[in-house]
Structure 1
Amino acid sequence: MLAVVLAAQFMALLDVFIVNVAVPTIGTELHASGAQLQLVVAGYAITYSVLLITGARLGDLLGHRRVYLAGLTLFTAASLACGLAQGTGELIAFRLAQGAGSALMIPQVLSLIQRNFSGEARARALGVYSAVLATGAAAGQVLGGVLVSADLFGTGWRPVFLVNVPVGVVLLALGARVLPRDDARAQERSHRLDLPGLVLLGAAVSLLTVPLVLGREEGWPLWSWLSLAAAALFFAVFCAYESRLARHGGTPLIAPRVLRHPGIGLAVFRVTAVMAVNGGFLFTLTLHVQGGLDYSALRAGLTFAPTAVVFGLVGLTWRRWPASWQRALIPLGFALSALSMCGVGLALRDGREAGLWLYAAFAGVGVGLALGFSPTLTRALATVRPEDAADAGGLLATVTQLGQLIGVAAFGTLFLNRLESLGAPGAYTSSDALLVCMFALAATAATGAVSGLVRRRR
């Protein structure tokens, strides 16, 4: 069961980043404008982010197995449609559908783990879950580069979507056999869906997500800032409504006790920080190696292999390390990330490559981010009650995605603005912009190191 649900989790996360290195080819073949290419990349992230909490609640009410299989079906069908799309409009629509399928599927993974594992087995399963969750982004860059460069049967960019189809079909067949049956009482609870809460949260996340993914390319116009301000207002209204609903005996979209659970608030901050650093690192480095150093799609993708591999290995093994180290892992991870980000920037300064030193810095980034992310997520969720698994899983999955978007928007804007201020594009100016971003990423990771010193309330 764990292998099936995590394979689908990994496949869905790949699609957040796998398209990045295929964008130039898509633009050429479909004659897409810059705005259209933005929506091809961002459409998935928009519906995915907006509907994650909704998917978590639907799983709790209608049954995790049922909603998981429905989401996997939608994701697989949308992947096939993306791979066969004949125009940019079709591709954008199907990317939105892909994101919706992921939003239904992803929250059920954590809920199924929480409800079917306990004690030490649950902690181990959560460790694997966190490793899969955070390696998907870097692995997407690698796989995207490999598939685009291979140009299988002259299909160009299409395999980055079509690769999901056979995997999805196999997972659907296996999932129908190995996933535990849903509680028969789930359908009886479907009338408790908090529709006003869904509308308020959906509006808030939409108002936050859309300017984050589109504002940078548009030059941060007035509407983007108004949208961000409106998002803050809608989040405040949502919180007030949910608190009032809980006080009057209703069933809020996110149970207030989940937010009050020891460690959840701190985990939200740490996960946001580490995923913002991760997203900003991957995005700005991609811009540099493909734009400044003229790497091919394959070479650009393989650049991220050391980070992805080390992240996965550390995420799977950190719990076996000496007990005396465990308390220090989170601040150590953030501190190592900060130092390694500086190392990457310095190794690539002046438009040069630094060989083994660069890859050592990449590995340091992977180790540091893994130590900042995996123990945080595992410890926060290990003691969450099974009945709160959907709420906690949806919340942290949403924070993970929003952290990535914030990192891409903030550090991507910093990189491009610095590049523009330096004048003529080239390897030297691109490396200068990257160095500034790496220092900014290091400073962000340092705040995570400070938060790692805060002990969780018992």
Structure 2
Amino acid sequence: MTFAPSSSATPVPAARTSTPAADPASERRIRDSRSLSKEHATDSGSGTARRGPRPGWLLAIVLTGQFMALLDTFIVNVAAPDLRADLHASGAGLQLVIAGYTIAYAVLLITGARLGALLGHSRVFLGGLVLFTVASLACGLATGTGQLIAFRLVQGAGGAAMLPQVLSLIQRTFTGLARTRALGAYAAVLGVGAAAGQLLGGVLVSADLFGWGWRPVFLINVPVGLALLALAPWLMGVRDEARGGAEERSALDLPGLALLGAVLLLFTVPVVLGREQGWPLWGWISLALCAALVPAFARYEMRLARRGGRPLISPLVLRAPGVPLAVVRIFCMMAVNAGFVLVLMLHLQTGLGQSALLAGLAMVPTAVLFAVVGTNWRRLPQSWHPRLSAAGFLTAAASFGWLGALLSDGGDGGAWLYVGQAACGIGMSLAYNPVLSRTLASVRQSEAADASGLLVTTAQLGLLSGVALFGAVFLERVEGAAPSAATSAHALTVTCAALVTGSLVGAVAGPFNGLVRRVRGLAGDR
């Protein structure tokens, strides 16, 4: 299963599908394909021609929007102490300020992807950008905790509308080697977002611009958002991308949306808030209800697809080659990435007493190497590509283990800390980028929105789970104990061992997935 940079990166022809022509879902996909072809033909005609997208500028605009949305997942953490003191926020209020964005973001991601497919990816991206920019201004001007929580929820909704469109627009705009490079840039921005949030948050809070304290961490989005909104209509070639008739565009899977929203809400709320509240009974009940609703959602979506409807997540996407493995590996990579960033920041700032700016600088090697590897891994021999993801997880596991040992004595690790950070960036980038590119290459263009929503939601749930699980491992060993570098170092060492385990799960997922396929093949032969 080698990755062919030209042929396999192009949309899979309809002739490769095995769905019978009489299947209503198949007929709908054929109509979508014909409608899309007519749309392109119409756009090229002299009578109704519109400005076409400029690929380079389009990529720059959507990746900047992606960076803004990711940045706000992390940047507020650095400003939390100043924010709490200024607004006199309670512990629960501060939690909701931090988590409100993430909860709304995670719950609405797949819905944002589907709206992009129905209304046009460029339109929904720009609509989400407007909402995100306005909400950022409102957050920066908030005068109370309740206002800030509400505006953070709106900000998260704007991010959920923007981010799924990025992968879809890349899929629709680029092919072959250009698509692979665009996906490398996408992954680089994804990896840099966490580190940049910590670093930029530290810079803005430390600078105390105009005496505004924490407010610039939100207000910085406003000029960037306005600049993107001014440039996008000219440089993105925004046009009507909605496909199908009015009846199809109105056929949003509302029951599926309600079920999926409930599943994600029942998962994210206890994961985000549970540890701080001592894992109360309501949190466990919520997780149990989430587990019960997952099969109910899956059954409903499959029945809807068989009836010729438009399920929120297409079963064709879930059955596409490599998608189940990609879901597992993307989840694992984002979980260990988020957990690692959190616990290292806590150790450096709380355990060792470093400033937010100095601690943020420690993440620069990880971010830089993640970006460099993400844009250059294709230069490696093609025969290596199927094994790069597993090799990346193993590299990350070795790096976590080494950093845990390096910092176990309570020291700052000196220059070796940055070497270990660089190795982590290389490993996590290799774990993520090849599996993302190979998976999207196997998904047809007509299913790009569903695949984008699924993979982006998987990444977000991985972030949430990593913060909750690995954060709990660290914090349970430092809370209640006398603050000291030794206590923090011990907690970090134990957490690094847990991160090694998480990385090994991602590494063995590929062989396990291959074994399952072989067992199914043997069962089918019989």
TM range (shorter): over 0.9
Q: Structure 2: which 5+ residue stretches go unaligned? A: 1-57, 519-526
Are the equivalent residues in 2 in contact too, given 1:283–1:412 (CA < 8 A)?
yes
Match among 112, 126, 136 for residue 69 of structure 1? 126
1:127 aligns to what? 184
Equivalent position SS for 2:483: coil
1:429 aligns to what? 487
Match among 216, 227, 243 for residue 170 of structure 1? 227
Are the equivalent residues in 2 in contact too, given 1:330–1:375 (CA < 8 A)?
yes
> How many Å separate the matches in 2 of 1:174 and 1:149?
32
> How many Å separate the matches in 1 of 2:206 and 2:375?
30
Are the equivalent residues in 2 in contact too, given 1:10–1:132 (CA < 8 A)?
yes
Are the equivalent residues in 2 in contact too, given 1:63–1:186 (CA < 8 A)?
no
Could you list the per-position Cα deviations for residues 5-57 of structure 1 after superposition, in whole angstroms to 9, with x for gaps in the alignment?
11111111111001111111111111111111111110000000000010001
Equivalent position SS for 1:19: helix
Match among 310, 323, 343 for residue 284 of structure 1? 343
Equivalent position SS for 2:143: coil
Question: What displacement does 1:185 show?
Answer: 4.2
Q: Does 1:296 align with 2:363?
A: no
Higher helix proportion: 1
Q: Does 1:252 align with 2:311?
A: yes
Q: Does 1:46 align with 2:103?
A: yes
2:71 aligns to what? 14
> How many Å separate the matches in 1 of 2:255 and 2:406?
51
Are the equivalent residues in 2 in contact too, given 1:55–1:107 (CA < 8 A)?
yes
Match among 213, 221, 242 for residue 280 of structure 2? 221
> How many Å separate the matches in 1 of 2:219 and 2:410?
36
Bigger shift: 221-230 or 411-420? Answer: 411-420
1:111 aligns to what? 168
Q: What CA RMSD, in Å, does the superposition of the two structures yield over aligned residues?
A: 1.5
Residue type matched to 2:202 in 1?
Answer: G
> How many Å separate the matches in 2 of 1:317 and 1:436?
33
Could you list the per-position Cα deviations for residues 275-319 of structure 1 after superposition, in whole angstroms to 9, with x for gaps in the alignment?
010011011112111111111121122121111111111111111
Are the equivalent residues in 2 in contact too, given 1:315–1:370 (CA < 8 A)?
yes
Residue type matched to 1:429 in 2?
Answer: T
Question: What displacement does 1:455 show?
Answer: 7.2
Q: Does 1:367 align with 2:426?
A: yes
Residue type matched to 2:183 in 1?
Answer: L
2:207 aligns to what? 150
Residue type matched to 2:111 in 1?
Answer: T
> How many Å separate the matches in 1 of 2:311 and 2:242?
22
> How many Å separate the matches in 1 of 2:60 and 2:511?
34
> How many Å separate the matches in 2 of 1:138 and 1:47?
22
1:236 aligns to what? 295
Report the structure number with the largest CA radius of gyration: 2
Q: Structure 1: which 5+ residue stretches go unaligned? A: none
Q: Does 1:418 align with 2:477?
A: yes
Moved over 6 A (4+): 455-458
Question: What displacement does 1:64 show?
Answer: 1.1
Are the equivalent residues in 2 in contact too, given 1:145–1:302 (CA < 8 A)?
no
Bigger shift: 95-104 or 152-161? Answer: 152-161
Q: Does 1:194 align with 2:253?
A: yes
Equivalent position SS for 2:313: coil
2:385 aligns to what? 326
Residue type matched to 1:214 in 2?
Answer: L
1:391 aligns to what? 450
TM-score w.r.t. the length of structure 2 is: 0.85
TM-score w.r.t. the length of structure 1 is: 0.97
Are the equivalent residues in 2 in contact too, given 1:411–1:437 (CA < 8 A)?
yes
Q: Does 1:336 align with 2:395?
A: yes
Count of paired positions: 457
1:36 aligns to what? 93
1:439 aligns to what? 497
1:59 aligns to what? 116
Match among 185, 198, 222 for residue 141 of structure 1? 198
Bigger shift: 131-140 or 405-414? Answer: 131-140
1:160 aligns to what? 217
> How many Å separate the matches in 2 of 1:292 and 1:432?
10
Bigger shift: 198-207 or 141-150? Answer: 141-150
Question: What displacement does 1:325 show?
Answer: 3.0
Closer, same or farther in 2 for the Cα pair 1:13/1:184, shift >3 Å?
closer
Q: Does 1:93 align with 2:150?
A: yes
> How many Å separate the matches in 2 of 1:374 and 1:141?
23
2:31 aligns to what? none
Equivalent position SS for 1:350: coil
